[in-house]
Amino acid sequence: MGFLSDALSRIKPSATIVITQKARELKAEGVDVISLSVGEPDFDTPENIKEAAIAAIRRGETKYTPVSGIVPLREAIAKKFKRENDLDYKPAQTIVGTGGKQVIYNALLATLNPGDEVIIPRPYWVSYPEMVGLCGGTPVFVDTSMDDNFKLQAEPLERAITPKTKWIILNSPSNPSGAAYSWDEMKVITDVLMRHPHVWVLTDDMYEHLVYDDFKFVTPAQVEPNLYERTLTMNGVSKAYAMTGWRIGYAAGPEKLIKAMDFVQGQQTSGAASISQWAAVEALDGTQAHLDVFRKAFAERRELVVSMLNQTKYLKCPMPEGAFYVYPSCAEAIGKRTPSGKVIETDEDFVSELLAAEGVAAVHGSAFGLGPNLRISYATSNTVLEDACNRIQRFCGSLG
């Protein structure tokens, strides 16, 4: 009998973390590496948020907090949902976790039984299927296509729903594709879900504020109020407020689900870090002026990267609506040879050879369930992105 849990055999390591760590190690060895693999804004946390955290420390806000979060933060979350999404939640319908990942995991752990199915559109954030598997559920994948800008369509969603379906996980704007659903596109999805009242919606809105070209963000329960009683709306402060290391995610939903998640979290981690929670209060309640600065910079970077990648041999790159990723296809590079004679057989080969030849770290699309593509993060400066894209062009030009 083995010592380690059989559950570990059902999951894979996070490809984004593996590749980012590989890039760090190469840099530490003195290799000239540009890492475009990490999902993290390069901006610093805004000053007003940092000052709120410092003030909380000086006030002595350094004790354990309630499992579901401090009252001022839960109140701020409820106000945020009303102000920005026209969703009415009481503070008791909200919960705070140590990052969005914990919020999702707790929801799945509190609800899934063996045999329960969770629909996950492909491409997906790498952790969704692994969390479903760890919680005893079965991921059911529904493919999207570049022709539809990687957005889920009604017919394949309808076909994927069975009596065993418990959840669908929706992520808009998407990691890895950057695709975001307009009101009309979301309504197509919610219309399908209205025909299947046993299916709950777990929506990951972490990139809500990072949308471009006057795109209007929407969330499922906002588009279809009749889904309110079976929707968990998850969000966090990591991306829009450049607070990745503060580790604060949050969600709102039906009180019975929130209580179940609180029960799980009470035996798992208890409350999130007190100082981070007070910083998050300021993030949600304070000035939002930095968002325009973030969006302007990311929009410029998006234009630069999409333009240069579409001028690159063997690559095709759609224009995403949000987040800070592009998801170009490298299908035309499959079967080509590197100067050393290595045949590119998969998108994983492509990113491995790109890193070896030019020192550019990206993540292969098959890690997100749909290839041959690669995910490139443009959360770095224009100068670095231009250098990286020139290297990618040089690498692709070397293939024959």
Q: What is the pTM of this model?
A: 0.95
Q: Is 278 helix (H, G, I), strand (E, B) or coil?
A: helix
Position 1 confidence tier, pLDDT thresholds 50, 70, 90: low
DSSP assignment of 361-378 equals E-EEGGGGT--SBEEEE-
Structure token pair of residue 156: 């394949």
pLDDT digits over 300-339, tens only?
999 999 999 999 999 999 999 999 999 999 999 999 999 9
Of 261, 243, 286, the closest CA to residue 96 belongs to 261
CB-based burial label for 235 (10 Å; 0-12, 13-18, 19+): buried
Measured N-to-C along each axis, helices 47-58 and 274-285 cross at an angle, to the nearest 10 degrees, of 140
Strands (E), 237-291: 249-252
Q: Are 295 and 189 in contact (CB under 8 A)?
A: no
Could you report the per-residue pLDDT of 113-124, keeping only the tens digit for each?
A: 999 999 999 999
pLDDT at 14: 78
Q: Is the pLDDT of residue 78 over 70?
A: yes
Number of C-beta neighbours around residue 334 at 10 A: 17
Question: At residue 101, does pLDDT exceed 80?
Answer: yes
Which domains can be identified in the chain, with CATH numbers?
6-44+290-398 (3.90.1150.10), 63-285 (3.40.640.10)
pLDDT of residue 28: 86
